[in-house]
Amino acid sequence: MDYLPIFLDLKQRNCLIVGGGGVAARKTALLLKAGACINLVAPALNDELSRLSKTGGIVHIPATFDPDHLHGMALAIAATDDHSTNQAVSLAARQAGIPVNVVDNPALCTFIMPSILDRSPILVAISSGGASPVLARMLRARLETLVPAAYGKLADYAARFREQVKQHFTHSERRRLFWERMLQGPFAEMVFSGKEQAAERYLLAALTQEHDSPPSGEVYLVGAGPGDPDLLAFRAMRLMQQADVVVYDRLVAPAILDMVRRDAARIYAGKARNQHTMPQASINALLVKLALEGKRVLRLKGGDPFIFGRGGEEIETLSQYRIPFQVVPGITAASGVACYAGIPLTHRDYAQSCIFVTGHLKDHSIDLDWAALARPNQTIVVYMGLLGLEELCRQLIAHGLPATMPAAIVQQGTTPNQRVLTGTLSTLPANAAATQLKPPTLIIIGEVVTLHQKLAWFHPGTDTPS
C-alpha cells in the first residue's frame, strides 16, 4: 500500500488553493462540497472563480504565493501551471506540517486526491497512487453503474436507527447480523424504491421480532480456485465478506486471502508434505468448535473443495453436529491451470477422456491403477506429483505408454508466477530437477500437451521448453 486512504473532516476549516484557472476551479468545487472555507491565492481568476469570489463563496487573495498565506490553513493545494510556484507551495507546506497536494505531480504531494464516487454519506475513493488517474476515473465510472444513488439514503436510515438497534442487541455479532440482513433484504429494496414509511415499519417490526441471543454459527466451504482472483465465483466473494473467521489452506493465493473481510480472524491450516500445521481431524474439530461459538466460518480451499480437497470429510463432520453449511465450488486446478497453460484436457484429435489422480507417495511408491492410466487417447492430470515424478514416469512407461509421450508441469498456474515446463515421459524428471521447480505444481500427460506452444495465451513469464 503506497498511500493510506483517509477521509478528512474539513467543515468550516480554512484551506488554501493556489491558482486561478480551470484546475483550481475544480478543486475549489470539491472542497466547497466538503464544507471547507476556501482561501484562493492567484493574481487573476477565471470566470467561474470570479463569480464565487463576488458572491462570497471564496476569499480571493490577488497576489502571488507567499509562505505566509499558509498560516492557519488545514490543507493546501497547488493548481498552477508554473512549476516553480507549485514547488514553493509544496516546500512551504511541508515545512509547516500542512498536508499538500500538487496537481499532477505526486512527487511534490504529501497526499493525493482520489477519484470519488459520492453517495453521501457513503463515499468511495479510488486511487492509482498517481500511476494512472485515467484508470482510476474509469473504475469510478464503472462503480457509478453498480452503486445506486439511493445507497446514501440507506446509510441515513442506518444512522437514524443505529442507537435503537444498539440498545436492543447487546451482542455485537447479533447487531451486525441484523444490519446485514436489513441492508441486503426487503428493507433496502423499500428504501431504493422510495417506500420510506414502509421501510421504517419493516425495520421496526423486524427489530421487535429479533431476540438478543447469541448468533448461530455456519460454515462456508468455498473453493478459491487455482490462484487467479478473477476466477472466484460471485457467491464465493459474497460469503468471503460475511465471514467472522477464515480457516485457509496453503494453496490459497495471498491475493485471494486479501479479499476476505478485513476484520475477520485468520487461521492457517495449511499442509505441506510431512509438515501438517493442523491434521485433518483437528481441522474438522476446529470448524465445529468455531461454528458452535456462533461464528460464521469461511473454510477457504485452493481449487475445488471436492476434488482432492477433503471437503467431503469436513462437511461429513459438520453434518454429525447438525451445523449448517454451504458449499461453493471452485475452478479446480486441473481445469484452470490447464486452460492458462493452453493445454486442452480433451480434444477430438488427441484425447477423448481425462483422468485426475493424486501423486502422493506412500512408502516411497505411488499406489495407482497403472493399467487404467496407461491407456491411449487419454489425458492424465496428476495433483501433488512433483516429488514422485520420476517414479510416475517410469511406471507409465513400464505399463505401456511410449517414452516419447508428451508431458508438462505447470508451476503456480493462473498466477503471475506461472511457469510451464514441457517434455516427454523420459525427459521430464531430469528437466524438472534441473529447473528446480517447486510446489504447487500440476502434471499433465498426454498428446494434448503438444498443443501448448500453439494455444498458449497467458504469458506472465518465459516458458521452459524441453
pLDDT at 276: 57
Cell 462570497 belongs to: 56
Q: Is 333 annotated as a binding residue?
A: yes
pLDDT-derived band at 171 (thresholds 50, 70, 90) equals confident
**Set 228, 249, 295, 301: catalytic member:** 249
- Is the pLDDT at 274 greater than 60? The verdict is no
**145 has binding-site annotation:** no
Report the C-alpha gap between 394 and 160 in whole angstroms: 71
Per the prediction, the chain carries an average pLDDT of: 91
Q: How much is the average pLDDT of 238-261? A: 92
Rounded to whole angstroms, the Cα distance separating 5 from 2 reads: 10
pLDDT of residue 272: 62
Question: Is 236 known as a binding-site position?
Answer: no
Residue 461: the pLDDT is 62
- The model's confidence at residue 234, banded by pLDDT at 50, 70 and 90, is confident
Mean pLDDT to the nearest integer, 395-416: 96
- Annotated active-site residue 271? The verdict is yes
245 has binding-site annotation:
no
* pLDDT band, residue 176 (cuts 50/70/90): confident
pTM, whole model, 2 decimals?
0.69
Asked whether the predicted pLDDT for residue 279 surpasses 80, the reply is: yes
The predicted structure's pLDDT at residue 363: 54
81 part of the active site: no
Give the residue-averaged pLDDT of 225-239: 91
Structural contact between residues 108 and 86, judged by C-beta atoms closer than 8 angstroms: yes
Map out the domains of the chain with their CATH numbers.
14-113 (3.40.50.720), 151-209 (1.10.8), 218-331 (3.40.1010.10), 334-455 (3.30.950.10)
**DSSP, residue by residue, 128-172:** -TTS-HHHHHHHHHHHHHHS-TTHHHHHHHHHHHHHHHHHH--SH
Q: What is the pLDDT of residue 463?
A: 53
One of 271, 349, 363, 369 is an active-site residue; which one? 271
Cβ–Cβ contacts within 10 Å for residue 404, how many? 11
pLDDT of residue 336: 97
Give percent of the chain with pLDDT exceeding 70.
95
pLDDT at residue 226 is higher than 70: yes
Percent of all residues in the chain with a pLDDT value above 90, rounded to a whole number? 71
User: Residue 223: pLDDT above 60?
Assistant: yes
Give residue 462's pLDDT. 54
- Bridge partners of 362, per DSSP, are 365
| Greater model confidence, 298 or 217 | 298
In the chain, what is the straight-line distance between the N-terminal and C-terminal CA atoms, in Å? 39
- 226 known member of a binding site: yes
- For residue 267, list its beta bridge partners: 247
Number of neighbours of residue 7 by Cβ within 10 angstroms: 8
Q: Is 263 annotated for ligand binding? A: no
Do the annotations mark residue 43 as ligand-binding? yes
- Residue 30 makes CB contacts below 8 A (sequence gap 6+) with 113, 116
Say whether 312 counts as a known binding-site residue. no
Q: How many CB atoms lie within 10 A of CB 265?
A: 14
Q: Strand order of the sheet with strand 353-358?
A: 353-358, 378-383, 441-445, 406-411, 419-424
Task: Write out 77-124 in H/E/C secondary structure.
Answer: EECCCCHHHHHHHHHHHHHHCCCEEECCCHHHCCCCCCEEEEECCEEE
Q: How many CB atoms lie within 10 A of CB 260?
A: 23
Q: How far is CA 337 from the centre of its chain?
A: 20
Q: Rounded CA gap, 311 and 375, in Å?
A: 30
CA distance 343 to 71: 66
pLDDT digit string (tens) for 288-312?
999 999 888 999 999 999 999 899 9
Identify the top-confidence range among 3-7, 8-12, 459-463.
8-12
pLDDT of residue 275: 58
Give the Cα separation of 327 and 220 in Å (integer). 6
Q: pLDDT-derived band of residue 146, with 50, 70 and 90 as boundaries?
A: confident
Q: Best-predicted range by mean pLDDT among 116-130, 194-208, 225-239, 404-418?
A: 404-418
pLDDT tens readout for residues 358-384? 987 545 567 899 999 999 999 999 999
Q: How far is CA 255 from CA 136, 252, 302, in A?
A: 20, 8, 12
Torsion sign over Cα 328, 334, 337, 339: negative
Residue 106 assigned as binding residue: no
Write out the E strands in 339-432: 353-358, 378-383, 406-411, 419-424
In this predicted model, what pLDDT tens digit does every residue of 75-85 receive, in sequence order?
999 999 999 99
270 is in an annotated binding site: no
- Rounded to the nearest 10 degrees, how much is the dihedral formed by the CA atoms of 338, 342, 344, 350? -130
DSSP symbols for 413-432: TTSTT-EEEEEETTTHHHHH
- Rounded Cα gap, residues 269 and 281, in angstroms: 11
245 forms beta bridges with 265, 297
Query: Is the predicted pLDDT of residue 261 greater than 80, yes or no?
Result: yes
Q: Round to whole Å and give the CA distance between 421 and 247.
A: 32
Query: Was 384 annotated as part of a binding site?
Result: yes
Mean of pLDDT values over 208-232: 87
**Rounded Cα distance, 228 and 396, in Å:** 32
